[in-house]
């Protein structure tokens, strides 16, 4: 009583299963061997390429922020031999490997990692919508309310709905990360090192 039939796959929560449906289907169709082959093929075909792109992009972002005195200066050091931000690359690589190893030890690691990544993007886009309203409606006094007020508010509503229904741990990490960013930003402004974009042209105010 209560035993699983031989060869049957263990049940997973619906949220976790939805993120690994392809691999679960491979396991059901061909067993653990086919599931591992599918996982390996996926990692080689696009996983490695995406990882390299993310590694380059994030390390350059950290380098640029450090160069503009938004992050510690050691991240702005560039290798004389290779002309790359070595410290930023090593930091991102270390964090990626550590997080990946930790997630691999959790049963819900794949779905949780996906939720954390999505949460970061969602929170960033919510802040982006707020910045659109702040820049155009508050600062520039734009009267194009459809583009600069209504559209951002609709986008924010959709994003916030997704955030509310996201993984609880992802919600916690996303909100903590947002609060930490706000604290760092306030500290930078207090030290006179607030971010600025002096090279951007200032648009004319709408009449």
- Give residue 199's pLDDT: 57
Task: Give me the mean pLDDT over the 33-56 stretch.
Answer: 83
Distances (CA, A) of 177 to 42, 50, 172, 174, 203: 30, 23, 8, 5, 32
- Give residue 91's pLDDT: 94
Range picked from 11-20, 91-100, 190-199 for highest mean pLDDT:
91-100
The mean predicted confidence, pLDDT, of the chain is 80
pLDDT in tens, 57-107: 999 999 998 988 888 889 999 988 888 999 999 999 999 889 888 888 887
pLDDT at 165 over 70: yes
Contact between 115 and 156 (Cβ < 8 Å): no
- Token readout for 11 is 């049940």
Q: 84, exposed or middle or buried, with CB in 10 Å at 0-12, 13-18, 19+?
A: middle
pLDDT at 1 over 50: no
Contact between 60 and 92 (Cβ < 8 Å): no
Please state, in angstroms and rounded to a whole number, the distance separating the CA atoms of residues 59 and 85: 7
pTM for this one? 0.64
pLDDT at 172 over 80: yes
């Amino acid at each position: 009583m209560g035993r699983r039939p031989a060869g049957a796959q263990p049940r997973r929560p619906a949220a976790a299963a939805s993120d690994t449906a392809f691999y679960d289907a491979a396991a059901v169709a061909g067993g653990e061997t086919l599931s591992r082959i599918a996982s390996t093929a996926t990692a080689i075909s696009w996983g490695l390429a995406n990882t390299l792109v993310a590694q380059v992009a994030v390390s350059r972002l950290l380098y640029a922020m450090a160069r503009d005195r938004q992050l510690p200066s050691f991240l702005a050091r560039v290798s004389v031999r290779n002309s790359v931000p070595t410290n930023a690359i090593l930091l991102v690589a270390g964090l990626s490997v550590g997080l990946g190893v930790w997630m691999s030890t959790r049963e819900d690691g794949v779905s949780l990692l996906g939720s954390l990544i999505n949460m970061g993007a969602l929170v960033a886009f919510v802040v982006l919508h707020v910045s659109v309203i702040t820049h155009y409606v508050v600062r520039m006094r734009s009267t194009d309310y459809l583009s600069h007020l209504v559209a951002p508010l609709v986008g924010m509503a959709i994003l916030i709905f997704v955030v509310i229904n996201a993984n609880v741990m992802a919600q916690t990490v996303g909100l903590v990360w947002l609060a930490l960013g706000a604290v760092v930003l306030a500290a930078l402004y207090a030290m006179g090192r607030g971010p600025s974009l002096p090279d951007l042209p200032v648009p004319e105010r709408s009449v």
